[in-house]
Structure 1
Amino acid sequence: SKEKYPQVVPVCARKGLPESIIAAACARSGQRVLHVDSKNYYGGNWASFSFSGLLSWIKENQQKTDTDECEDWKKLILENEEVIPISKKDKTIQHVEDFYKAAGTEPASATEGRDADITSENESSPSTASGEPALELGKTEVAPSEISAQEPKKITYSQIVREGRRFNIDLVSKLLYARGLLIDLLIKSNVSRYAEFKNATRILAFREGKVEQVPCSRADVFNSRQLTMVEKRMLMKFLTFCLEYEQHPDEYQDYENSTFAQFLRTQKLTPSLQHFILHSIAMVSETDSSTLEGLQATKKFLQCLGRYGNTPFLFPLYGQGEIPQCFCRMCAVFGGIYCLRHSVRCLVVDKESGRCKAIVDHFGQRISANYFIVEDSYLSESVCTKVCYRQISRAVLITDQSVLNTDSEQQVSVLTVPPVDPGKPAVCVIELCSSTMTCMKDTYLVHLTCPSTKTAREDLEPVVQKLFNLNPEKEAENEEQEKPRVLWAVYFNMRDSSGVEKSSYDGLPSNVYVCSGPDSALGNDCAVKQAETIFQEMFPTEEFCPPPPNPEDIIYDEDEIEG
């Protein structure tokens, strides 16, 4: 068989965030890269969809049909070779349930009768170049054409469908820490020029049945009306300690075997301050997180304050799915080859050396390479018999107002809802406004995430019921207690393969590397660490995603100039 890409060095299968970073790093170091994906969109489980695209994704994952495939490729396998088959069915998404409640609609499946193509609208999203050695922050103003003096009208499902291209709905809900590994990598590699970002404007807490704003910066603390002067002093003193806790081990070493929640009770803090610090600043588990973990998380939160705004977090305009695409653009700039709708049938292993030497694609052609990077979902059950997966519970809602209304409608909010039952996980809620370019005007896009204990709906619907009105036709009896109406919702479970060691996979050659899907953490540190670790194993002498050269410093090869 004639090999189409004879000089390819690494092959990446699936375009999730870790794979995209690795591909960019390899291309930047001068390697030939082929990046293939059986899907027809970028990002894998890190993707963002328009509304119609998400409906198609839902339909695809609810049907889960197997396709009969021709296996003529088996003739290409030589006597001294063996194969590792690739999974024909992606099992990373389970228990998909969707419904819509918008006024003036019939209660039916949101995907019924709708065969819209799956598209990632992000590919047409404008990218912004910035001369600053940092990130471009998006403007929060709403375009004049979108401003209306009329009374707000009830949003209908048909309006959501009509305005579907204004939605960019993430499969995974995350934020970028202002001093996190991903921000540092975006700046260092200059990939930040391909995207714009918006500050998360407020941190919220859910306490005693109410949503309230948490003061976290020094200015917020002293301007807060919900804290007494004594509480303000208590909070500032404790946060100052957290910033330099390593220099005062005598203050916490007696509690190293205790939980952070227990440690907080020993400090001079009121119950409300303990709640704010545990759930909205440290954002750690009340029962499982140690004192040191809580102090580390609090310090990280505080160190990120003030770099780009009054919260530690940034959100990419047009959705989290922009980030993998940004690294794919960088890879393409340095010569990477991209193929969508390109399935892989198997890995070809040389029996003598035990190394993977090629893949066979759905066209029946062999593609040789030195290294192979695959997403966990590509591996068949026979390879994953020893793997124990965790699950993430996800919900995405379209609502008609914010969980905490203020003078400004354009708020990006982060809310942690603590568990009612001990031992259950807290739920992270991220609420996005229309200026994030993820939803239409007069709506909010709300993401709920937690580690799974049951199906996503069982895990998350109790929190949805606390925060939102699930029956838009029913007016609240007390206007002061009126909750945002849920106009549309989807629940699903996503497989969390982070933390799985390579040794857990049976029979994988040493030059095949496995990337995990998204984890349940709020940030992206896991994906960045994984990408850097794999890259350094392949190319230990190369720098990981160095800054791009200045155009005037590039020296072209004479053969290239003549060509």
Structure 2
Amino acid sequence: MADAPQDYPTIDPTSFDVVLCGTGLPESVLAAACSAAGKTVLHVDPNPFYGSLFSSLPLPSFPSFLSSSSSDSVPSPSSTTPYAAVDLRRRSLYSEVETSGTVPEPSRRFIVDLVGPRVLYCADEAVDLLLRSGGSHHVEFKSVEGGTLLYWDGGLYTVPDSRQAIFKDTSLQLKEKNLLFRFFKLVQAHIAASAAGAEAGEGEASGKLPEEDLDLPFIEFLKKQHLSPKMRAVVLYAIAMADYDQDGADSCERLLTTKEGVKTIALYSSSIGRFANAEGAFIYPMYGHGELPQAFCRCAAVKGALYVLRMPATALLVDEEKKCYAGIRLASGQDILCQQLVLDPSYEIPSLDMTCSTPVSNSSRKVARGICIISSFVKQDLSNVLVVFPPKSLEEEQVTAVRVLQLSSNLAVCPPGMFMAYLSTPCTDTFTGKKCINKAIDVLFTTKASDDLEGHLETTSENSKEGVKPTLLWSCVYVQEITQCQGTSDTALSCPMPDENLDYRSILESTKKVQFLSILYYSCQKVGKKIWLFVEVMEPFGLFLASCQYGMISYHVHIK
């Protein structure tokens, strides 16, 4: 985070419907939704750039951001507002940062994602949200045209993710091809039947998988289809994107059900061919994932949201009589009042003596990440490609999948002739996570023998020959904390942080929950045991009618 300037602007007006601190993707989506609904919005960020924990940074700025993501409490400037002030603290989310090698010049040509490796499915909700909101006008995508490679038996294997790919794969035996094709045909029939049944309003439809199969662990269902271990790894880790070892049911932290696996396969299949100029299922934003929050911020600004960068928040204002947060104090000393506060997850929200909307949870998990600059592609002629290391493929003790995303200069994230590679794996401790990342780096790349980087562009074509590993020029391995839930009050909510997943589905789902909690407090009218909420925000940029049960009270939400 850059040093704050000495002179801060005065913000006018001093009261808003919603104030958001941090311009990460969840906060930016909420800002765009609230602005589109006609709410007055103030969006501040202590950084001189958009994106917060979801930003894309020039490489020279990356190490300082990791080390300065936390700060001690800044004393709150004096103010005449009749509210008590509770100092805000920001906590460190990054640890165990290790770098090696020398960054090639010009170093600012390398753009680093804080959330990598990450892609968007062509048919996922994040893309639909961009299209509905108009955010797609502010960001450009390119296809991850290389598809997915699976590391198996010491080699990289192209994932057969379609009928054509299955029958073109010369490494598969005829029996394997038939079994895999039969499995995909069975799943596609279930997907089609489910879609037809949903449209017709029918409970059951011909072709759907039995409920007992859908409730099975996905690994057991695949075994019932007589798929080989290699084909099970393809489906589980390269298409269904399971994170944990599914063979160890007793020790598996997250066992995938058939229903969940089929749902991801349906998303994967519907993504292939959705856009005529996109090969495969995945797309990636030009200039990095930091462009996504910027796109939603632009949508919010067009609708009247006020943006102030380089503006730290130092304290929360407390209405002691109502036992709720009434606003925020900025580093300038100015107090801003609001109906609803939304903070990025690096802020620690002080607890008040009141009933919380969400329980306090100390449970946290971690994700080990790696960023590499390499001299050539990991497999010949594949510029942008995803590589998956299934559990136990690197060592017997490996219990999580490792994902690697290689990106080329056609995405404007590095100079021509070089490549960026992002790695990640979920972990419970830093040692195990970093060990898996480093093993994957050792498998894919070779360490440069000399510190002299001159001439690496001339040797790119030679090093790119099949069977020759790319040269590792620079790397950074670190661990990011993922806190699942913070204690929040009705008027101060915390957004989700970047997680270990390959896409944004979980983050957007958590953002919806944050938005729903905000709506429950912000605009409701009690009628007996029912609460009717006529709100304009919950489903951004669309009409939505939802009913949900919360304890013994029924909530009916109508979105205009």
TM-score by length of 1: 0.77
What is the aligned partner in structure 2 of residue 461 from structure 1?
438
Query: Structure 1 residue 423: deviation in Å?
Result: 6.8
In structure 2, C-alpha distance between the alignment counterparts of 1:416 and 1:354, rounded to whole Å: 50
| Whole-angstrom distance in 2 between the partners of 1:346 and 1:338 | 19
Decide whether the 8 Å contact of 1:176 with 1:313 is kept in 2.
yes
Partners of 2:368 and 2:424 within 8 A in 1: yes
> Gapped runs of 5+ residues in structure 2?
1-9, 195-204, 247-254, 353-358, 452-458, 524-533, 544-560
Residues in 1 aligned to 2:350 and 2:429: alpha-carbon distance in whole angstroms = 22
Aligned to 2:447, which of 462, 470, 473?
470
Cα distance in 1 between the residues matched to 2:263 and 2:210: 12
- C-alpha change, 1:226 and 1:454, in structure 2 (3 Å) is same
Please give the alpha-carbon distance, in whole angstroms, between the structure 2 residues aligned to 1:430 and 1:24.
30
The 8 Å contact of residues 374 and 515 in structure 1, kept in 2 or not, is answered as: yes
Specify which of 220, 227, 236 is matched with residue 278 of structure 1: 236
2:122 touches 2:281 (CA, 8 Å); kept in 1?
yes
Alpha-carbon separation, structure 1, partners of 2:32 and 2:502: 24
Alignment correspondent of 2:391: 419
Answering whether residue 165 of structure 2 is matched by residue 165 of structure 1, we say no
Give deviations 1:157-205, integer Å, cap 9, x for gaps: 4xx232x332221010211111111011011112101111111111111
Q: 2:446 corresponds to which letter in structure 1?
A: N
* Cα distance between partner residues in 1 of 2:406 and 2:289: 13
Distance in 1, Cα, partners of 2:321 & 2:91: 31
Which of the numbers 513, 521, 532 marks the counterpart of 2:493? Answer: 513
Structure 1 pair 453–460 and aligned structure 2 pair: CA distance change class (3 A): farther
| Matched position secondary structure for 2:346 | helix
CA contact (8 A) 1:3 1:368 kept: no
State the distance in 2 between where 1:98 and 1:491 align: 6
| 1:176 equivalent in alignment to 2:176 | no
> Partners of 2:425 and 2:119 in 1: how far apart?
15
- Work out whether residues 495 and 517 of structure 1, in 8 Å CA contact, stay in contact via their aligned partners in 2: no
Matched, 1:27 2:57: no
Q: Using a 3 Å threshold, how does the CA distance of structure 1 residues 68 and 334 change in structure 2: closer, same or farther?
A: closer
Shift in Å, 1:211: 0.8
Q: Which moved more, 1:206-215 or 1:385-394?
A: 385-394
The aligned residue for residue 536 of structure 2 is: 542
5+ residue gaps, structure 1, are 103-156, 549-563
How far the C-alpha of 1:27 sits from its partner, in A, is 1.2
Q: 1:199·1:315 contact (CA, 8 Å) conserved in 2?
A: yes
Q: 1:244 and 1:59 mapped to 2: Cα distance?
A: 51
Q: Report the residue type matching 1:541 in the other structure.
A: V
* Closer, same or farther: CA 3–294 of 1 in aligned 2, 3 Å: closer
Partner residue, 1:86: 88
Aligned to 2:404: 429
Aligned residues: 473
Matches within 5 A, 1:525-536: 525-536=505-516
Mapped contact 1:234–1:269 kept (Cα < 8 A): yes
- Partner of 1:121 in structure 2? none
| Distance in structure 2 (CA, Å) of the matches to 1:22 and 1:251 | 37
**1:522 matched to 2:526:** no
Structure 1 residue 72: Cα displacement? 3.6
Mark the CA change 1:32 to 1:251 in structure 2 (over 3 Å): closer, same or farther.
closer
Q: Residues of 2 paired with 1:520 and 1:360: CA distance?
A: 33
Change in CA separation of 1:68 and 1:224 when aligned onto 2, cut-off 3 Å: closer
Question: Which of residues 130, 151, 156 is equivalent to 1:206?
Answer: 151
Preserved contact between residue 429 and residue 449 of structure 1 (Cα < 8 Å): yes
Q: Matched residues in 2 for 1:59 and 1:254: separation?
A: 49
User: Is 2:19–2:338's contact at 8 Å kept on the other side of the alignment?
Assistant: yes
- RMSD (Å) for aligned C-alpha atoms: 3.0
The Cα shift of 1:257 comes to 6.0
- Quickly say closer, same or farther: Cα 1:233–1:319, change in 2 above 3 A: same
Q: Using the TM superposition, give the Cα deviation of residue 480 of structure 1 relative to its aligned residue in structure 2, in angstroms.
A: 6.0
Report if aligned partners of 1:349, 1:509 keep a CA contact under 8 Å in 2: no
Separation in structure 1 between the aligned mates of residue 347 and residue 498 of structure 2, nearest angstrom: 15
**Of 324, 331, 356, which residue of structure 1 is paired with 2:300?**
331
Partner of 2:320 in structure 1? 351
Among all aligned residue pairs of Structure 1 and Structure 2, give the percentage whose two residues are the same amino acid: 26
Aligned partner (choices 373, 382, 386) of residue 398 of structure 1: 373
Pairwise CA distance, 1:457: 2.6
Q: Partners of 1:198 and 1:178 in 2: how far apart?
A: 11
Corresponding letter in the other structure for 1:207: W
Q: Which amino acid aligns with 1:167?
A: F
Cα distance between partner residues in 1 of 2:138 and 2:316: 34
What amino acid sits opposite 2:136 in the alignment? Answer: S
- Equivalent residue number for residue 50 of structure 1: 58
